[in-house]
Chain A
């Protein structure tokens, strides 16, 4: 395969879509994996735990 200008252009035009889909699915699967639920809930609430007895 020749690595000329046309190759790079073709690569840029096609690969982006593929890359985007992989990352999107990766992120969605990770975010919605059932066993992660608990961890995320904990994280979301963790920053509020310190709040006891405060007036900020």
Chain B
């Protein structure tokens, strides 16, 4: 990897490593009386390890000058592997906490291993570790192919990838230390948040600079979705995380917002994290890899444009449906509900024309597990967006809110849509990236497919059942007009569903392990004799396009 950088770039990389080390050391010294000290040490150590890696190859010969005529895929390769490693880790933790709700003693007598600290490890690991790395890796790949231009810079993609993973590492280790801002899906504290802002700016600039080099006048629609993902996540992240730290030596900070404003800001963030992280970015993936795998252009390019603006506009209004019947003003709740219901239109347009793209290629869907992953993802996308709009209706929400139904809904989206489209994408992408004829084993892909599908279905059905049972028990009245069940009655009733959920989660985890193994073994297969000509950017003749 390092040998692909020029001597100058290696020098810059060393400077960056030194800056990271110094930043970590400063943070560590300021926070020496606090848990912050550990995180400072972690950053300093990471800086030194990276420095060592670069210095080790510092005097290697300069890379082949022809490299600028090729796409730059090393960061994508690393991103794919790291993403799968996060998946295995985070679904393992997820399944552990699922078992904790069946056997609460199945843990250690220590803070780091308790449910409340492990749960954000699972959510962050899956959303940011697995999902984030998958998005970064595929966005680099798609961006270069659709622009027919090499990434603008060899160092910047590494800053993005390594920096982002350091952020994830700070986040999950922090929770175990007890560092959390408690904002759901935005738990990392102020210093990690600031760190991410820097990384994100580099990502954004890299994206724009590469787009500026493009040889195609039209920006392919997948890039629209990736751009919206990068941009809006930045806005959401910065506003939701505004906070005042206790001191520069404390990990702890206090949110700038309180009470009802904080709740609205949090769920404006929370819902749009779903929209722009878990939907927009992954639709970008779908719009490139699904047509490529199926060998057919997208059913209606026009529809994808309308969906894009629909999703970009509508999601922003929908967040308040998380706060029905609360102290949030009534009109905000209704506004959120209305836009959430309209949201089903562009969502179904996207899901629908993903399926219509496959229309006429059903024999491929039947025979090719990779394409089947994408097909199932589109189906789950349609299902969970419909379910989401349905749950946003106030009376439905009065039953579903606070129950496992919400958990089931989230996992229908996360397992069924996000993870499935990513697996389909990776199995398409990995042989291209490493220049292999095919994946190591198609039977393992098949096994992964059925494990993932069975796991998802078991999980989602268990949570639908438990959620509805819970909701109904809470509101049930006995004949004499008193509440029929105590709270603990509803907890007892959950046991079989929690057990089934943990089994479903385990199947999904197992599929992930198989996927990682299969991808790893593919990278160790022999290379095809000559690199295919198609995967080269065209020769740059004159000025790059505007």
Contact = CB atoms under 8 A, between A and B. Distances in A.
Indicate if A touches B (C-beta under 8 A).
Answer: yes
Contacts of B305: 27, 30-31, 40
Nearest to B307: A27
Q: Interface range on chain A: under 10, 10 to 19, 20 to 34, or 35 or more? A: 20 to 34
The dominant DSSP class at the A interface is helix
A47 B291 contact: yes
The dominant DSSP class at the B interface is helix
Given A40-B301, A51-B292, A16 B335 contact: yes
B55 interface: no
A43 B301 contact: yes
Most chain B beta-carbon contacts within 10 A, residue among A42, A47, A55: A47
Contact of B302 (A19, A32, A47, A48): A32
A23 B309 contact: yes
Contacts of A51: 292, 295, 534
Contacts of A56: 292-293, 428, 431-432
A9 B342 CA distance: 21
Contact of A55 (B216, B220, B296, B437): B437
Contacts of B306: 24, 27-28, 31
Contacts of A52: 534
A50 interface: yes
Given A40-B301, A50-B535, A20 B437 contact: no
Contact of B292 (A13, A27, A47, A55): A47
Interface string B306-328: 10111001100100000000000
A45 B534 contact: no
B218 A54 contact: no
Interface in A16-45: 16, 19-20, 23-24, 26-28, 30-32, 39-45
B335 A44 contact: no
Interface string B200-223: 000000000000000010101100
A31 B307 CA distance: 11
Contact of B221 (A27, A32, A43): A43
A26 B309 contact: yes
A17 to B, nearest CB: 9
Q: Which 4 A-B pairs have the closest CB atoms?
A: A31-B302, A44-B297, A50-B534, A27-B309
